[in-house]
Amino acid sequence: MSLLPQQLAAVIRGGITAAQAAGELPAFALPPLRIDRPKRPEMGDYASAAALQINKQVGKPPLEVAKIIAARLPTSELIDSVEVVPPGFINIRLSEAWLRMQVEHLIAAGDRAFQSSDAAGRTAQVEYVSANPTGPLSVHRIRGGVLGDTVANLLEVIGYTVTREYYFNDAGQQMNKLGESVRARYLEILGQDAAFPEGGYKGLYIRMIAATIYAFKGDSLRDASGDQFRQIAATAIIERIKLSMRRVNIRHNLFFNESSLYSENAVWDTVQALRDRGYAYDQDGAVWFKSSALGDEKDRVIVKRTGDPTYRLPDMAYHKNKLDRGFDLVVDVFGADHAATAPQVLLGVRALGYDPSTVRTIIHQMVELVEGGESRRMSTRRGDFVELDELIDDVGADAVRFFMLAQSPNTAMNFDVDLARSQGDENPVYRIQSAHVRCAGIMRKAAEKGLDDEGADLNHLGAEELKFLRKIIEIPEMIERAISDMSPQAAAFFALDLAGAFHPLYDRVRVLSDQEGIPLEIQKARLRFYRACKVVFKRLLSLMGMSAPEVMERREDSGKNKAEAETVEE
């Protein structure tokens, strides 16, 4: 089923073609017709500016054109009435009967509410987090994780089969440094002098890994290579990263090993493919990607004089691999620190002969934690970064999910730790979850009193409930738009908005308790309505990877458990 605005646009188009057939409008090719949602309620639920779009071709004033179209509109079960207003808008009011019916549809759909099959049969791959396993997951990285995971959720709602993927960077210089760093700490434990590698990793976790190795293996790795230490360390760290991600409901279907690109020759095949297509050449002992031919400011090295690839080459080979797997859509989530590579990867995709529009990227800006009006800055290399686990301990997983989502990826994030930690209504997380809790409370109370809403007559719903339903039915449009614009934050803002509309409604539209007593039929209809609301809030929360609590339950004083913060060495 297509989206509501599309259905309404079809109705408008029907009016125009009918008027053309009747000779009231000249024949011409119609532009795509947009349906807007007016800001003010008296302008109706939806509006078409079609008359303003086409009045030039018609050669009549837009108001007159609008009147002609409106008079020729085909009947639709969606529409209650239309109104033509200057300068030529056609305002549409939705059918209330149709709106009431949505309550039953929502309840019937339950956890699959808003599930569509628009993209059924299509496959998508979403790559996110992909942090090098050189240390614990940082707060900055998880922003991309939350954005990517939410995009994946949204894609599934419209019918995509989604592969959630982590590009596991288990090769390369940084990983070698990791191995050498652990080796040096291990030898320290054995009482040997070991040169700590330049630019090595100095966090406490390196010592802990070394100590664990010693605990299990004693001094048997005395003569082991850095490579062996690298493998042990990478495994330990990736497991820890997985645990951290799981705490915020992030799971991947596939950890793609960078090393497989080498073992399967994909990297060198990619170089050859570029050569074959005339996009690679040798110069100064290196192999260059002729990206300037595709608009880049200069060509880029893909194989160093040493014979080692630069980071670009495996990135391109990885994308070649993704596209060869036949995905209809590939989504990359990068942090601002990698922003420069994204366009180059896309050039690579083009150079290799793939359609670059298959690949969408989300590039998010940095995260800054703000606490007590001061920022806690972070840098992975120095080691004074804030770990995700520390933040989760502090503010809770749901708050991390929500706050990381609820900002446009393009803006540098100020993560308000004090607000995220607070347990009152000023915290948007509580605001949204409490809407669900309140619905659940009504259900519980009604069940205790034996009130049954099965077969309720929804004609007893009032104007406020209908207004709320009008908001709910925007959700499919919101999802569609979040995907087409790659703006998953829309889900967070929508949920907050909906909760904001819910609480006043809850206050006025009572089901059970009221001094004057509420007639049974109205109680039933309202209970039915709140049952649908509960479905909606639960669904929105799960889309955002958040929990939907049934009862009020304040977190224990999480407080500031920072005793175990890592000491930093320089």
Partner RNA sequence: GCCCCUGUAGCUCAGAGGAUAGAGCGACGGUCUUCUAAACCGCAGGUCAGAGGUUCGAAUCCUCUCAGGGGCACCA
Q: How far is the CB of 527 from RNA (least distance, A)?
A: 8
Tell whether residue 146 is a contact of RNA (CB under 7 A). Answer: no
Q: How far is the CB of 519 from RNA (least distance, A)?
A: 14
**468 backbone dihedrals φ, ψ, rounded to 5°:** -65, -40
Tell the smallest beta-carbon distance from residue 87 to RNA (Å): 7
Rounded-to-integer distance, Cα 532 and Cα 118, Å: 23
Report the alpha-carbon distance of residue 134 to residue 84 in Å, rounded.
63
Segment near RNA (CB under 7 A), from 21-29, 187-195, 222-230, 544-552?
Answer: 544-552
Choose, by CB under 7 A, the member of 285, 353, 462, 519 that binds RNA: 285
Smallest distance, RNA to C-beta of residue 452, A: 14
Instruction: Give the x-and-dash track for 465-504 against RNA (CB under 7 A).
Output: ---------x--xx--x---x-x-xx--x--xx--x--xx
Smallest distance, Å, CB 125 to RNA? 20
Contact set for RNA, span 355-414 (CB under 7 A):
363, 365-366, 406-408, 410-414
Q: Among 67, 242, 445, 467, which residue sits at the site for RNA (rule: CB under 7 A)?
A: 445
Residue pair 116/93 in contact by the 8 Å Cβ criterion:
no
Is there binding between residue 255 and RNA (CB under 7 A)? Answer: no
Closest contact distance (angstroms) between CB of 514 and RNA is: 7
- Say whether residue 172 binds RNA (CB under 7 A): yes
Q: Given the complex with RNA, which of 19 and 443 has the nearer CB atom?
A: 443
Gyration radius from the chain CA atoms: 29
65-95 burial, b at 16+ Cβ within 10 Å, e below that, comes to bbbbbbebbeebebbbebebeeebbbbbebe
- Tracing tokens 């948007």 back to the chain, one arrives at 428
Q: Which stretch binds RNA (CB under 7 A): 65-73, 182-190, 267-275, 551-559?
A: 551-559
What are the beta bridge partners of residue 351?
Answer: none
Q: Which residue, 442 or 456, is less far from RNA as judged by CB? A: 442
93 binds RNA (CB under 7 A): no
Q: Indicate whether 551 belongs to the interface with RNA (CB under 7 A).
A: yes
Nearest distance from C-beta of residue 223 to RNA, angstroms: 27
Torsion sign (Cα): 466, 510, 492, 542: negative
Residue list 17-36, contact with RNA (CB under 7 A):
34, 36
Q: Is residue 529 a contact residue for RNA (CB under 7 A)?
A: no
Closer to RNA by Cβ: residue 228 or 423: 423
# of chain residues touching RNA (CB under 7 A): 96
- Binder of RNA out of 355, 516, 553, 564 (CB under 7 A): 553
Q: Does 558 bind RNA (CB under 7 A)?
A: no
> Does residue 87 have a cis peptide bond before it, meaning omega lies within 30 degrees of 0?
yes
Q: If binding is defined by CB under 7 A, does position 117 make contact with RNA?
A: no
CA distance 59 to 514: 60
d(CA 63, CA 85) in angstroms, rounded, equals: 7
Cβ-based nearer residue to RNA, 49 or 213: 49
- 34 vs 251, beta carbon nearer RNA: 34
| Span from 41-49, 93-101, 108-116, 142-150 in contact with RNA (CB under 7 A) | 41-49
Positive or negative, the Cα torsion across 281, 282, 283, 285? positive
Q: Which residue has the tokens 């290399």?
A: 381
> Do residues 277 and 353 lie in contact, with contact meaning Cβ atoms separated by under 8 Å?
yes
Among 27, 97, 340, 520, binds RNA (CB under 7 A): 340
The string over 305-322, giving b where at least 16 C-beta atoms fall within 10 Å of a residue's C-beta and e elsewhere, is eeeebebbbbbbbbbbbb
Tokens at residue 100, please? 């009431």
Q: Which is nearer to RNA, 138 or 489 (CB)?
A: 489
Q: Rounded to the nearest whole angstrom, what is the least distance from the CB of residue 456 to RNA in the complex?
A: 14
Q: How far is the CB of 193 from RNA (least distance, A)?
A: 27
> How many CB atoms are closer than 10 A to CB 395?
25
Task: Check residue 459 for interaction with RNA (CB under 7 A).
Answer: no
**52 forms part of the interface with RNA (CB under 7 A):** yes
Is residue 247 involved in binding RNA (CB under 7 A)? no
Nearer residue to RNA within complex by CB, 284 or 564: 284
| Sign of torsion over alpha carbons 307, 312, 315, 321 | negative
Of 4, 9, 12, 47, the one binding RNA by CB under 7 A: 47
Given 7, 17, 20, 53, the residue binding RNA (CB under 7 A): 53
As a whole number of angstroms, the distance between CA 331 and CA 361 comes to: 6
Continuous segment of H or E residues that includes residue 313: helix 312-324
Q: Is 552 in the site for RNA (CB under 7 A)?
A: yes
- Alpha-carbon torsion angle 421, 425, 426, 430, nearest 10: 50
- Beta-sheet pairing, 300-303 with 286-289: antiparallel
228 contact partners, CB below 8 Å, separation of at least 6: 179, 221
Q: Does 447 bind RNA (CB under 7 A)?
A: no
Smallest distance, Å, CB 107 to RNA? 17
C-beta of 463 vs 563, nearer to RNA: 463
Which range touches RNA (CB under 7 A), out of 19-27, 269-277, 349-357, 432-440?
Answer: 432-440
Please list, in sequence order, all residues whose beta carbon lies within 8 angstroms of the beta carbon of residue 128, skipping any fewer than 6 positions away: 144, 145, 147, 148, 149, 152, 164, 165, 166, 250, 333
Contact 112, 214 (CB under 8 A): no
**β-bridge pairing 359-364 and 89-94:** unpaired
Q: Which of 43, 194, 204, 208 binds RNA (CB under 7 A)?
A: 43
CB of 26 to RNA, least distance (A): 18
Query: In the set 441, 466, 467, 471, which binds RNA (CB under 7 A)?
Result: 441
